[in-house]
Amino acid sequence: MKFNLVLASTSPFRQQLLQTLMLPFNCVNPDVDETAAKDETALALVKRLAEQKALAGANLIDQTSVPQLIIGSDQVAMINGQIIGKPNNIENAIAQLSAASGQAITFYTGLAVFNCDNQRMLSCVEPFTVHFKSLTEAQIRYYIDKEQPLYCAGSFKVEGLGIALFSRLEGDDPNTLIGLPLIRLIDLLAQHGVDVLSEASNNQSNNIGLKY
């Protein structure tokens, strides 16, 4: 199958993860309101946002005769029954890590792959639980100062110093915590007819006309 792959995200972490599949891809920046609807659950929120980002990404590219597969992803966490996302500032990051200290926190990553050719949307939600150590305020402030995780759900980067915050990780795919569950992504791509173990050398990824 010939296809163009597009990641609807400008996250460098998601881009680095997707590169490990050795499939050429382009990136677009979807403009999606990430506000949760009233009474919307964490699972429903990340699934909806992942799908909306994939659809928004589809609107940013010029359609070609080659099928376009658009990847959307979003992530939130639950702390004491409350949905949390990116802290965006130091004060919120301190509050998030203080609330998470000594707790088991589940992260939910929504993943969607949209085929522009046949309008088929496939999506899923992948959970991953992290068990935080009991952290002092000094440790929390030191970590935030060193890694500046202000645009990461939960206020940490597991691929960096953030690993020191945890006593245990629990889930199927640690890439989920970074924002792109690769095992599930490979499965969704397969359902769209793409085998990453045979398509990598045959993939046709043209320069796509992007609409900014």
Compute the average pLDDT of residues 57-76. 87
The pLDDT of residue 200 is: 52
Question: How confident is the model over 38-61, as pLDDT tens digits?
Answer: 889 999 999 999 999 999 999 998
Higher pLDDT, 101 or 200: 101
* Active site positions, annotated: 74
The pLDDT of residue 208 is: 45
CATH no. of 4-199: 3.90.950.10
Q: Global pTM?
A: 0.86
Question: How confident is the model over 125-163, as pLDDT tens digits?
Answer: 999 999 999 999 999 999 999 999 998 888 998 888 999
- Name the average pLDDT for the chain: 90
Compute the average pLDDT of residues 85-98. 94
User: Concatenated DSSP letters for the chain?
Assistant: ---EEEEE---HHHHHHHHTTT---EEE------PPPTT--HHHHHHHHHHHHHHHHHTTB---SS-EEEEEEEEEEEETTEEE----SHHHHHHHHHHHTT-EEEEEEEEEEEETTTTEEEEEEEEEEEEEPP--HHHHHHHHHHH--TTSTTS--TTTGGGGGEEEEESS-THHHHT--HHHHHHHHHHTT--HHHHTTT-------B--
Q: Is the pLDDT of residue 199 over 60?
A: no
Compute the average pLDDT of residues 101-126. 96
Binned at pLDDT 50, 70 and 90, residue 211 comes out as very low
Binned at pLDDT 50, 70 and 90, residue 212 comes out as very low
